[in-house]
Amino acid sequence: MTTIAERRQRLRDVDLYVVTSREHSAGRTSLEVLDACLAAGVRMVQLREKTLSGDQLRDLAREFRARTRDAGCLLIVNDRVDIALDVDADGVHLGRGDMAIEEARKQAPSLLIGASSHDMYSALNAEAAGADYVNIGPIFPTGTKPEHKVFLGPEAVGLIGMHLHVPFTCMGGINETNIDQVLDGGAQIVALVTAVTKADDIEAAARSLRHRILDHRARIAEMERSGSNPWGLETE
């Protein structure tokens, strides 16, 4: 059985975090999207399907679990702690209005618990409640969450992230044209939907985005080794 410590360690190696949504997949199934992402080496995916019944979601989650396990990819289930436990997923992601983080931890002590945040206050509260990672967003306007009217902007990634002691992801309208802005802002793990799921070539899109993240990390690491200050922060 995989331990929470092992899952937390694997989380720190994630670069691109793809969230599924069959209504935003240009007619492809979520399994087709998943297979292409796994072929691109994606290490973390979230099964988020708002239009399926509980039984349909559970059946799909079992398929996701079998394929992600074979590929060594973390599987996160959106909202449903019960389904995450049923299929032995690696974690569950909780948004506003979902189960409290503390209750999810009681029910699923071995699962990663991710939590959405929309400002500094909610991010720090999620960490204090026991979240293993905190998602910061939405960064830019996004068609998958049209109800959001306030967008944090790429500068919020670093401003909020610097106060967190757990890994953080960022999400919301991120794509090939603006991903450098969130990376320059301090993002380590970039979560997205349509930049991958709607792409003409899903595997190629996922590979390209992963390379952008990994290349940025390599540049930052080299600057740190050379004694430069990659984030432009004042030092004593």
Angle at 85 between CA 81 and CA 87, to 5 degrees: 120
Q: What is the pLDDT of residue 1?
A: 81
In a domain, 235, yes or no: no
Q: What's the total number of domains in the chain?
A: 1
What residues make up the domain containing 210? 4-225
pTM: predicted TM-score of the whole model, two decimal places: 0.93
Angle at 99 between CA 95 and CA 100, to 5 degrees: 90
In a domain, 234, yes or no: no
In a domain, 230, yes or no: no
In a domain, 35, yes or no: yes
Q: The dihedral of CA 214, 138, 8, 198: what is its sign? A: negative
Contact 31, 63 (CB under 8 A): yes
In a domain, 233, yes or no: no
Mean pLDDT for back-to-back runs of 10 residues, the chain (236 residues):
96 97 95 98 97 96 98 98 98 96 98 97 98 97 69 96 97 97 96 97 98 95 81 48
Q: What is the pLDDT of residue 143?
A: 66
- What CATH number does the domain containing 57 carry? 3.20.20.70
Q: What is the pLDDT of residue 148?
A: 60
Q: What is the pLDDT of residue 235?
A: 43
- Alpha-carbon span 49 to 161, nearest angstrom: 28
In a domain, 55, yes or no: yes
In a domain, 231, yes or no: no
In a domain, 232, yes or no: no
Residue 61, helix vs strand vs coil? helix
Extract long-range pairs of 215-224: CB within 8 Å, 24+ residues apart: 216/180, 216/183, 216/184, 217/15, 217/188
